[in-house]
Amino acid sequence: MNWEELAKAPNPLRTTPGRGIFDPVPRGIFEKTIANTADVTVAKPRRLATVASRRGFVSTADLAAAMDHIGSLPGPEETLHFITAGTYKGWDVVPAVLKLAGQTCQELIVTTYAFNIPQITAMVELMDAGQVKTATLVCALLFQKIRPAVILQATEELEARGGRLIAVRNHTKLYLFRLADGRHFAAESSSNLRSRGAIEQWTLTHSRELYDFHKGWIEDLFGRTHR
């Protein structure tokens, strides 16, 4: 099947007959999601140069083994590097970091291409339990077009708890943590929230500078989208 045929093929994720896989969802069906989406990208390329004072490397087949190898979170300005064997989802990094930190998270910022409802459920459960005070989620505009019902439910769940969600031209995968004790961690990953079954790489850095670097462009997206 070529691309032209694919574009005309029925989309198994939709129930509307006759719509191609890349057709937009009809206006009016999910009006609430439209306000949280925008065909925008970062205003300009950004660059941050850092000097790594310490690095650690772990290759492991599952999250529990990774946490055992780490033993503790990275120290100030330390970066840990991981290769996984596809035995856990990107989201699993979040509860693992919080468990190792032994602290509540004052601010959690996550960027991903796609996600499923179970990850949103897990996120709001952390918020309801007081382990995460506020949460921000950035996902891909194309994902919103393919799975608008998922975006709608996620938006409602997060906003009901003071969180927020936006869908833009995003392909980054980040997990940013501002902990109650003042520590800041940034996980940079190849894995979506829902991804598993493939080799993935990610890093975990204890750095306020890196946290602020990523938060800066994310806040800029929200500012330019919600004018």
Q: Which residue has the tokens 């999601």?
A: 33
Burial class of residue 147 (count of CB atoms within 10 Å of its CB; 0-12, 13-18, 19+): buried
Domain identity same for 24 and 94? no
CA dist 179 and 186 (Å) reads 11
pTM across the whole model: 0.74
Same-domain check for residues 11 and 91: no
Joined together, the tokens standing for residue 65 give: 């083994």
Same domain, 130 and 18: no
Same domain, 50 and 19: no
Are residues 23 and 130 part of one domain? no
On whether both 160 and 181 belong to a single domain, the answer is: yes
**Residue 162 confidence (pLDDT):** 97
Q: First-to-last CA distance in the chain?
A: 42
Share of the chain above pLDDT 70, in %: 66
Instruction: Please give the tally of structural domains in the chain.
Output: 2
> Who has greater pLDDT, 63 or 198?
198
Q: What is the pLDDT of residue 11?
A: 42
Domain that holds residue 4: 1-29
Rounded to 5 degrees, what are φ and ψ at 42?
-65, 150
Q: What is the pLDDT of residue 71?
A: 66
Q: Check residue 88 and give its pLDDT.
A: 72
Neighbours of 127 (CB within 10 A): 20
Q: Is residue 48 located within the same domain as residue 3?
A: no
Torsion of CA 87, 88, 93, 96, to 10 degrees: -80
CA distances (Å), 209 to each of 104, 176, 184, in order? 20, 12, 9
> Residue 189 corresponds to which tokens in the numbers above?
């990953």
Closest by CA position to 30, among listed 16, 45, 49: 16
68 pLDDT band, cuts 50/70/90, is low
Q: Looking at residue 125, which CATH number applies to its domain? A: 3.30.870.10
